[in-house]
């Protein structure tokens, strides 16, 4: 079965392929000769943004399509950046820019509780959408830890680990990340609805 990922983020593609490619053929827009697939993510929720991306690509390729949106919700920042996590430090920030802004805003704050949430929108071959979420709680560290740079991974330490996601191997992170929890629900759904 072929599933097309509605993203051009290579880090996201890598993570999803690592989790799904042993059972499914995972394609990207580039694989289907769609260059620079980008849509405006102006939804109010992660689910809305995932739907916007999935629907846009489904309309182009008419194949089962998967999109996700992930947010980091920080208690001391009134659950910001949340749905705006990707553009927290401006229109085209680097991963480092976003982390730097967050650490600056958290200076002097003792409550560093946060959680990651991933929302997946999967549109099946009939055009029906299905949603799956994954959530993991943790804390924001005082500085970057680790060499694996993807989003906020170097400053997010899951509550079940002594390491940040940035310090973990890619396989270790995939064992229980927010994205893998959501994808596990999707896999179960796909297996039950063959």
Please name the residue ranges forming H helices in the chain.
10-20, 46-61, 95-105, 170-176, 178-192
Q: Angle at which helices 10-20 and 178-192 pack, to 10 degrees?
A: 50
Tell me, what DSSP letter sits at residue 75? G
Q: Are strands 25-27 and 2-5 parallel, antiparallel or unpaired?
A: parallel
Region for 36 from its dihedrals, namely left if φ exceeds 0, alpha if ψ lies in -120 to 50, beta otherwise? left
Verify whether residue 69 is a known catalytic residue.
yes
Catalytic residue among 11, 31, 68, 69: 69
Q: What does the alpha-carbon distance between residue 38 and residue 26 come to, in Å, rounded to a whole number?
A: 18
135 vs 147: CA distance, rounded Å: 23
Spatial distance between the Cα atoms of 121 and 42, rounded to a whole number of angstroms: 15
Q: CA 11, CA 149: separation in Å to the nearest integer?
A: 9
DSSP, collapsed to helix, strand or coil, labels residue 82 as strand
Q: Which residues are catalytic?
A: 69
């Amino acid at each position: 079965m072929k599933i097309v990922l509605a993203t051009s983020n290579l880090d996201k593609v890598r993570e999803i392929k690592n989790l799904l490619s042993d059972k499914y053929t995972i394609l990207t827009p580039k694989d289907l000769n769609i260059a620079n697939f980008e849509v405006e993510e102006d939804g109010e929720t992660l689910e809305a943004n995932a739907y916007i991306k999935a629907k846009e690509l489904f309309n182009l390729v008419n194949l089962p399509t998967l999109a996700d949106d992930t947010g980091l919700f920080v208690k001391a920042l009134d659950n910001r950046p949340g749905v705006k996590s990707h553009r927290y430090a401006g229109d085209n920030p680097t991963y480092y820019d976003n982390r730097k802004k967050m650490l600056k805003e958290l200076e002097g704050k003792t409550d560093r509780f946060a959680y990651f949430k991933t929302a997946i929108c999967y549109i099946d071959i009939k055009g029906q959408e299905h949603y799956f979420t994954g959530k993991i709680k943790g804390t924001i560290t005082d500085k970057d830890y680790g060499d694996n740079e993807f989003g906020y991974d170097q400053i997010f330490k899951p509550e079940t680990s002594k390491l940040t996601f940035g310090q973990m191997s890619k396989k270790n992170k995939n064992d229980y990340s927010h994205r893998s929890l959501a994808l596990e629900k999707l896999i179960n759904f796909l297996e039950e609805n063959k």
